[in-house]
Amino acid sequence: MVRPSQRREMARWAVEGGRSSIRHACQTFALSETGYRYQAKAREDNAMIADGLVRLTTAYRDWGFGLCFLHLRNVKGFGWNHKCVYRIYRELELNLRVKPKKRLAHERPEPLAVPETIN
């Protein structure tokens, strides 16, 4: 499945190369013209969020996203949305490594003893 951002890039590639018009490129890649012209706007809070996340992850190395977000929300009092904070968390590549489970070595079981008499 192709994401809208990928469709936008393909349409821009077709238009910038002089291969087609904006209307034709948008129809070809099933993209609206407003979607073609969309420019994402960065919020002013993004720098504050990034700074807070970096400080928390350097101070508390074993904290994941959940603890960092709850600390920013409940202790610091910021009202940021968890989706916005998680997007910046991923962009900064602060994710913790998922540790593999330690598995016990399986020994070969001994064969069951066969009874010599009943009971």
Percent of the chain's residues with pLDDT above 90 = 43
Exposed e or buried b for every residue in 2-39, given b needs 16+ CB within 10 A? eeeeebbeebeebbeeeeeeeeebbeebebeeeebeee
Say if pTM beats, i.e. exceeds, 0.85.
Answer: no
* Residue with tokens 């064969």, as numbered in its chain: 111
d(CA 68, CA 80): 12
Give the pLDDT band (50/70/90) at residue 3.
confident
pLDDT in tens, 36-91: 898 877 788 899 999 999 999 999 988 889 999 999 999 999 988 999 999 999 98
